[in-house]
Amino acid sequence: MTFYQPAGNEVELFTAAADNGLPVLIKGPTGCGKTRFVRYMAEKLGRPVYTVACHDDLTASDLVGRHLIGPDGTYWQDGPLTRAVREGGICYLDEVVEARKDTTVVLHPLADDRRELPIERTGELLKAAPGFMLVVSYNPGYQSLLKGMKPSTRQRFVSMSFDYPTPEVEQTIVQQESGCDADLAKQLVGLATSLRKLKDHDLEEAASTRLLIHTAYLVASGMPHIEACRAGMIEPLSDDAVTVNALMEVVYAVFGQSED
């Protein structure tokens, strides 16, 4: 089963929402565990999960489905949202604010007490099967006036806020996921904590738990700590050479100047 280390009451809250057929909105920074949490809960509840990475070009047809042409003529193919509705699964829309507004409108009748999906091209009006759940997520740090969730949409969801775990919990996650020892996990978490303090100054995004795990994997494969940190954590944070060099000074402060 997917490993997930709870940071609060999110498991109980998600379970209660699932039991009552309520849609869920998860807010939090990149790499803090939102997608892993949804996958963990799908396994825990025994439901299939259909994940959609939202983007500017995502259309309603990408979610609902479309007619295709095959050897025997035209046929209808369900999209991930429709499959989840039919099967009683979880449809997870990652970074939902990246989708076009005319796309997210199709979610409205599924996110209230109607729990139905009209498919205009086939004339169907699907009632969500028992177990269906709509889950969306986004990073509030990326929001702008042009890319924000409308209040009329946001108020249809039970919402929970995620953040990076406490150092103790994050160390457990890094150890569990990468198989590294406690000392390395503690050093990497300490490094990330220092880097996160620079988030509003030199970086657009903070160092995520995901990057710590990547770095630990590199170390486990035999890479020196300094180079592993550069490739697994620092370079992904910035393309600016001056910023990268400044961040590497933080790495040297944690691991020392010499290669391991």
* Joined tokens for residue 11: 């498991």
Distance (Å, whole) CA 213 – CA 210 = 5
pTM over 0.85: yes
Give the residue with greater pLDDT, 132 vs 151: 132
Distance (Å, whole) CA 107 – CA 133 = 11
Cβ neighbours of residue 37 under 8 Å, at least 6 residues apart?
4, 10, 14, 26, 162
> Cα separations (Å) of 48 from 15, 45, 80?
15, 9, 11
Q: What is the pLDDT of residues 7-30, one digit of tens each?
A: 899 999 999 999 999 999 999 988
Averaged pLDDT for residues 83-93: 98
| Per-residue pLDDT at 146 | 46
Distance (Å, whole) CA 80 – CA 90 = 10
Print burial letters for 22-59: b (CB count within 10 Å at least 16), e (below 16). Answer: bbbbbbbbbbbbbbbbbbbbbeebebebbebebeeebe
Q: What is the per-residue DSSP string for 233-250?
A: IIGGG-S-HHHHHHHHHH
Backbone region of residue 162 per phi and psi (left: phi > 0; alpha: psi in -120 to 50; beta: other values) = beta
- Backbone φ and ψ for 132, nearest 5 degrees, come out as -60, 140
Cα 224 to the center of its chain, rounded Å: 30
How would residue 258 be classed by pLDDT, with cut points 50, 70 and 90? low
| Per-residue pLDDT at 151 | 80
Q: What is the pLDDT of residues 220-244, one digit of tens each?
A: 999 999 999 999 999 999 998 998 9
- Report the interhelical angle of 167-178 vs 209-220 (nearest 10°): 40
> Cα separations (Å) of 7 from 45, 169, 179?
19, 7, 20
User: Is the confidence at residue 36, as pLDDT, over 90?
Assistant: yes
Q: Domain segments of the chain: what residues? A: 10-161, 167-255
Q: Does the domain formed by 10-161 have CATH 3.40.50.300?
A: yes
